[in-house]
Structure 1
Amino acid sequence: MCFYNQKRFVCGDFSWTSFAHQCNYEYRTGETCGMKLVNKTENVKTLCRICEKIEIKYRRRSAECERVQRWRRDGGTLVASIEKSQDMIRLLDQEIMKLQKDREDKSRAL
């Protein structure tokens, strides 16, 4: 039950930051008991690392979708390029799902 400072992000996620002070249960110098309690919470106006990655993937996916729509509208003669972009969209969808699962797993681990 040692005390740590905490950073809370806009998305609701948090991360542990610096060690604040030691509890009375651990008597050895420099050792902590292993249980973390919140000493002070700092609210940050940014997204966590995983949510930032998800946002980046969504922007890339949106750009690819717009590119495919533009190519189809212009005549669709770039079939190979359209197929590559659709493959990229599928890949981005998989990466987004994996990142969302990682975020859910991290929040459930508490």
Structure 2
Amino acid sequence: MCYFDQVVWACGNWRWGKFREQCNKEYRIGETCGLKLVYGRQDEAKDCKICDQVTKKENRIRRTTERMARLHEWKLLASLERCEEEVASLKGEILRLREQHSTHMAGRAAFRLESGNPFEFHTSFGGPFSCPAIPVGLTERQDNLP
């Protein structure tokens, strides 16, 4: 139960910051017990590195699709095909980055986006993770039990 700072970015992602205080469980100087507690929270106004990378890739996709429209008008099929491959590759990288971001947001546990759509923005309370629905029969009071 040693105390560390916690850095929280605008997107909600976080990381452990500097070591602040040693707990009573650990008697050796310079060592930590392994359990981390938050000593203080530092809010960052900017997004994390993963969100920055996603933004860059989304901008690149936007520029490439604009270029694809021009190439389609000029009937440059080889360049158009190369741009389509690049967009598909960028979408795959964005999906990987979003899954990595979701993993970090979920406390370093491995989860996948349920929809499979990397461009779907999750604003609900649960984020990209949905709780299983409770069957109606379990939510109603059952007085006729033996």
Q: TM-score, length-normalised on structure 1?
A: 0.92
Higher relative contact order (CA 8 A, sep 6+): 1
> SS of the counterpart of 1:82?
helix
Code of the residue aligned with 1:60 in structure 2: it is: R
Identify the residue that residue 75 of structure 1 maps to in structure 2: 74
In structure 2, distance between residues paired with 1:14 and 1:37: 14
Partner of 1:97: 95
Aligned-residue CA RMSD (Å): 1.1
Alignment of 1:9-20 (within 5 A): 9-20=9-20
Q: CA deviation at 1:94?
A: 0.3
Separation in structure 1 between the aligned mates of residue 11 and residue 78 of structure 2, nearest angstrom? 39
More strand by share: 1
1:67 Cα deviation after fit:
0.5
More deviation in 85-94 or 40-49?
40-49
CA–CA separation in structure 1 for the residues paired with 2:68 and 2:104? 35
How many pairs are equivalent?
Answer: 108
1:60 corresponds to 2:60: yes
User: Residue 47 of structure 1 corresponds to which residue in structure 2?
Assistant: 47
Query: Shift of residue 75 of structure 1?
Result: 3.0
Tell me by how many angstroms 1:36 deviates: 0.9
1:34 aligned counterpart, secondary structure: coil
- Quote the residue 2:143 is aligned against: none
1:29-60, CA deviations, whole angstroms, 9 ceiling, x for partnerless residues?
A: 11100111111111111101111111111111
The Cα shift of 1:105 comes to: 1.6
More helix by percentage = 1
Q: Which residue of 2 aligns with 1:88?
A: 86
Match of 2:105 among 89, 98, 107: 107
Q: What amino acid is aligned across from residue 41 of structure 1 in structure 2? A: R
Unmatched runs of 5 consecutive residues or more in structure 1: none
Displacement of 1:107 after TM fit? 2.0
Which runs of 5 or more residues in structure 2 are unaligned?
A: 110-146
